[in-house]
């Protein structure tokens, strides 16, 4: 085989290829042309060395080499992503398996602790035990929520929402958990375009970022600054497709993050905090949520100076009222103002219905419990006006909450139905609304919140 004519345009290259070709074909005379004498093998080696040198100087080859390096790097990062997504998938499966049962257990633990507190007068020492149970239980509930969001099991319900109202509300809640040696400043737009988002998840982002900022300044105190600004045109240096953006930043002047750690902070379970203080899921969750919102996240951090995390959300043209947003973040207040209300609870988990029943009865409601959708339907049919409200679980063996709600609402369209569900995407809030279900509650629901939701439904149905 003769050396390829195309790559031998360069005369020097041609000469070297010739040497190699001739030597390889057994013509060692060519050897005379090489200044540096040696045996046949040396001639080939010298030829090859010269070839390598020439090739490395050849622009076409250089480019090819760069492309090859890029391709190899791409491949490496795809491989890393694959490993990462496999990890997430495994975690997702695990979360899916335990989240449902775990939440039911938590409803029972939290509910019983709340009931215990209700029984004890203010001066009793034992209240501290129940308060501790509540606090730990809520941490556990939060952890399940993080894992589930992170593994993307939870149905994301993107709606047109306005950050100008969600952010200050979320900050109010964050303020309650952050000590006063940390000053919170906010520079948030009064009016801004909407984004397509899940308000609860935005709230979760805020809580995770603010908690991290607080931990970074815990020993020294400092300033936590939250800003919301608008970008007309995509933010520079970010490859983003949408036209306009909102930038949400959380800045602290705390301990900062080393360059080495900066590479890893978004990895699930990466934490520098002691056991019991951090699980390393906060930023992984934030990252997952931002991805689902088609956003981008940037990090700017200097050791001992502080950290800024910014999130960019594509905006929409729509407008919604501020009130709608507030409602989805914060539980509404309200008291039942009617004399006696009859409630039907349908749940296949007796430990849950028992807690709900006891709680609601203490609050003056009359409660009937069914553990199966068919029984509930049969009971309801006997006298469709006997209940003022139905609270049903979604995941039940014989008939789902959704099916039951459909049947009930066909018989009595004005019936307030509350659907409570664990983490599943079997039904979305929109779907629930379409079916005529008044409220959609994510387990575990705090009893006081449950009561507020029930009162709200009862009030609106008159
Ligand atoms: N604002 C910050 N300042 C300094 N370090 C930070 C900041 N935010 C995150 N980090 C670092 O990134 C790590 C990962 O953060 P992440 O929120 O994912 O987990 P965590 O806070 O350790 O635990 P979790 O949020 O699950 O309770 C933290 O342990 C910390 O080392
Ligand atoms: Mg955190």
Which DSSP state fits 445? P
Q: What confidence score (pLDDT) does residue 42 get?
A: 65
**Looking at the CA of 276, which ligand is closest?**
1
pTM attached to this predicted model: 0.57
- Claim to verify: residue 47 and residue 132 sit in the same structural domain: no
Establish whether residue 217 lines the binding site of ligand 1, counting it when its CB lies within 6 angstroms of any ligand atom: no
Ligand 1 centre to CA of 211 (Å) is 8
**Looking at the CA of 269, which ligand is closest?**
1
Among 450, 454, 442, which residue's Cα sits nearest to residue 200? 442
Establish whether residue 268 lines the binding site of ligand 1, counting it when its CB lies within 6 angstroms of any ligand atom: no
Q: Are 197 and 159 spatial neighbours (Cβ–Cβ below 8 Å)?
A: yes
Q: Are 205 and 290 spatial neighbours (Cβ–Cβ below 8 Å)?
A: yes
68 belongs to a structural domain: yes
Ligand 2 centre to CA of 270 (Å) is 10
Q: What confidence score (pLDDT) does residue 376 get?
A: 95
Which DSSP state fits 443? S
Establish whether residue 281 lines the binding site of ligand 1, counting it when its CB lies within 6 angstroms of any ligand atom: yes
The protein residue whose alpha carbon is closest to atom 10 in ligand 1 is 212
45 belongs to a structural domain: yes
Phi/psi for 59 (5° steps) reads -60, -45
Q: Are 404 and 376 spatial neighbours (Cβ–Cβ below 8 Å)?
A: yes
- Measured at the CA of 215, the angle between CA 212 and CA 219, to 5 degrees, comes to 155
Q: Is the peptide bond before 82 cis (omega within 30 degrees of 0)?
A: no
- Claim to verify: residue 359 and residue 375 sit in the same structural domain: yes
Distance in angstroms (rounded) separating the CA atoms of residues 164 and 230: 11
Q: Are 311 and 290 spatial neighbours (Cβ–Cβ below 8 Å)?
A: yes
Q: Are 327 and 444 spatial neighbours (Cβ–Cβ below 8 Å)?
A: no
Q: Which of 325, 341, 357 is the last residue of a domain?
A: 325
- Claim to verify: residue 81 and residue 181 sit in the same structural domain: no
Distance in angstroms (rounded) separating the CA atoms of residues 406 and 428: 15
Backbone φ/ψ region at 213: left (φ over 0), alpha (ψ -120 to 50), beta: alpha
- Claim to verify: residue 165 and residue 140 sit in the same structural domain: no
Ligand 2 centre to CA of 209 (Å) is 7
Helix (H) or strand (E) holding 314: strand 306-314
- Claim to verify: residue 164 and residue 277 sit in the same structural domain: yes
Ligand 2 centre to CA of 159 (Å) is 26
20 belongs to a structural domain: yes
pLDDT tens digits in sequence order for the chain, 462 residues long? 444 445 445 666 676 677 777 766 666 666 566 555 455 566 666 667 766 676 667 777 777 778 888 888 888 877 777 776 677 677 767 776 777 778 888 888 988 998 898 888 889 999 989 988 988 888 788 778 777 776 655 566 788 889 998 998 888 878 878 888 999 999 999 888 999 998 888 988 999 999 999 999 999 999 999 999 998 877 777 777 777 899 999 999 999 999 999 999 998 889 999 877 888 889 988 998 898 898 999 999 999 999 999 999 999 865 444 444 433 333 322 333 335 688 999 999 888 888 898 888 888 888 999 999 999 999 999 989 889 999 999 888 899 999 999 999 999 999 999 998 876 646 676 787 788 888 888 888 888 889 989 999 888 876
- Claim to verify: residue 189 and residue 294 sit in the same structural domain: yes
Q: Are 246 and 313 spatial neighbours (Cβ–Cβ below 8 Å)?
A: yes
Ligand 1 centre to CA of 263 (Å) is 12
Establish whether residue 273 lines the binding site of ligand 1, counting it when its CB lies within 6 angstroms of any ligand atom: yes
Closest ligand 1 atom to 270 CA: 14
- What is the CATH number for 445? 3.40.50.2300
Q: Which of 117, 150, 183 is the last residue of a domain?
A: 150
Question: What is the three-class DSSP state of 415?
Answer: coil
Q: What confidence score (pLDDT) does residue 44 get?
A: 65
- Claim to verify: residue 454 and residue 365 sit in the same structural domain: yes
Closest ligand 1 atom to 277 CA: 27
- What is the CATH number for 113? 1.10.287.130
Q: Which of 109, 131, 150 is the last residue of a domain?
A: 150
| Residues 6 or more apart whose Cβ sits within 8 Å of residue 309 | 209, 212, 249, 250, 251, 286, 297, 298, 299, 300
- Claim to verify: residue 246 and residue 273 sit in the same structural domain: yes
Q: Please, what sign has the CA dihedral across residues 74, 75, 76, 82?
A: positive
Among 428, 413, 423, 420, which residue's Cα sits nearest to residue 449? 420
Percent of residues in the chain assigned helix, strand, coil, to nearest 5: 50, 15, 30
Distance in angstroms (rounded) separating the CA atoms of residues 420 and 436: 14
- Claim to verify: residue 288 and residue 402 sit in the same structural domain: no
- Claim to verify: residue 314 and residue 435 sit in the same structural domain: no
Give ion ligand 2 contacts, CB < 5 A. Answer: 212, 282
Q: What confidence score (pLDDT) does residue 297 get?
A: 93
Ligand 1 centre to CA of 303 (Å) is 14
**Looking at the CA of 216, which ligand is closest?**
1
Ligand 1 centre to CA of 145 (Å) is 17
Helix (H) or strand (E) holding 389: strand 389-393
Q: Is the peptide bond before 444 cis (omega within 30 degrees of 0)?
A: yes
Ligand 2 centre to CA of 282 (Å) is 4
Establish whether residue 305 lines the binding site of ligand 1, counting it when its CB lies within 6 angstroms of any ligand atom: no
Ligand 1 centre to CA of 257 (Å) is 9
1 belongs to a structural domain: no
Among 287, 290, 309, 278, which residue's Cα sits nearest to residue 143? 278
Q: What confidence score (pLDDT) does residue 27 get?
A: 67
**Looking at the CA of 272, which ligand is closest?**
1
Establish whether residue 262 lines the binding site of ligand 1, counting it when its CB lies within 6 angstroms of any ligand atom: no
- What is the CATH number for 219? 3.30.565.10
Q: Are 453 and 426 spatial neighbours (Cβ–Cβ below 8 Å)?
A: no
Q: Please, what sign has the CA dihedral across residues 210, 212, 218, 220?
A: negative
- Claim to verify: residue 211 and residue 317 sit in the same structural domain: yes
Distance in angstroms (rounded) separating the CA atoms of residues 288 and 91: 14
Buried b (16+ CB within 10 A) or exposed e, 238-266: eebeeebbbbbbbbbbbbbbeeeeeeebb
Domains held by the chain: number: 4
- Claim to verify: residue 296 and residue 425 sit in the same structural domain: no
Q: Which range marks the domain in which residue 413 is found?
A: 332-461
The protein residue whose alpha carbon is closest to atom 29 in ligand 1 is 271
């Amino acid at each position: 085989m003769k050396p390829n004519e195309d790559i031998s345009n360069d005369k020097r290259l041609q000469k070297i290829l010739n040497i190699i070709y001739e030597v390889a074909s057994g013509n060692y005379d060519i050897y005379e042309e090489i200044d540096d004498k040696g045996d046949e093998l040396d001639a080939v080696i010298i030829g090859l060395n010269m070839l390598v040198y020439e090739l490395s100087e050849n622009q076409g080859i250089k480019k090819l080499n760069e492309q090859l390096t890029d391709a190899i790097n791409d491949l490496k990062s795809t491989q890393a992503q694959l490993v990462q997504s496999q990890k997430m998938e495994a975690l997702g499966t695990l979360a899916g398996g335990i989240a449902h049962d775990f939440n039911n257990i938590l409803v029972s633990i939290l509910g019983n602790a709340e009931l215990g507190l209700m029984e004890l007068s203010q001066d009793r020492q034992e209240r501290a035990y129940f308060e501790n149970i509540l606090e730990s239980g809520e941490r556990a509930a939060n952890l399940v929520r993080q894992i589930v969001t992170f593994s993307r099991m939870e149905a994301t319900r993107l709606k047109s929402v306005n950050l100008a109202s969600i952010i200050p509300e979320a900050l109010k809640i964050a303020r309650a958990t952050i000590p006063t040696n940390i000053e919170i400043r906010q520079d948030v737009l009064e009016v801004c375009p909407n984004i397509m988002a899940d308000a609860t998840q935005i709230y979760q982002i805020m809580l995770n970022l603010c908690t991290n900022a607080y931990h970074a300044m815990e020993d020294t105190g400092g300033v936590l600054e939250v800003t919301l600004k608008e970008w007309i045109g995509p933010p520079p240096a970010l490859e983003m497709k949408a036209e306009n953006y909102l930038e949400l930043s959380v800045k602290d002047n705390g301990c900062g993050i080393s360059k080495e750690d900066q590479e890893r902070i978004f990895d699930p379970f990466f934490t520098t905090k002691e056991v019991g203080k951090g699980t390393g899921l906060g930023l992984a969750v934030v990252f997952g949520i931002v991805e689902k919102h088609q956003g981008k996240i940037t990090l700017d951090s200097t050791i001992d100076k502080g950290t800024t995390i910014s999130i960019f959300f594509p905006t929409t043209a729509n407008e919604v009222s501020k009130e709608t947003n507030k409602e989805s973040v914060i539980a509404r207040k309200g008291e039942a103002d009617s004399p006696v209300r009859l409630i039907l609870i349908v749940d296949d988990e007796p430990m849950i219905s028992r807690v709900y029943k006891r709680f609601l009865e203490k609050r003056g409601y009359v409660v009937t419990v069914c553990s199966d959708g068919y029984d509930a339907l049969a009971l309801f049919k006997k006298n469709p006006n006997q209940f003022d409200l139905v609270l049903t679980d979604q995941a039940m063996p014989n008939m789902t909450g959704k099916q039951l709600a459909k049947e009930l609402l066909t018989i009595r369209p004005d019936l307030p139905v509350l659907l409570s569900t664990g983490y599943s995407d079997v039904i979305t809030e929109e779907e629930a609304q379409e079916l005529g279900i008044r409220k959609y509650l994510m387990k575990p629901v705090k009893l006081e919140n449950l009561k507020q939701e029930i009162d709200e439904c009862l009030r609106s149905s008159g």
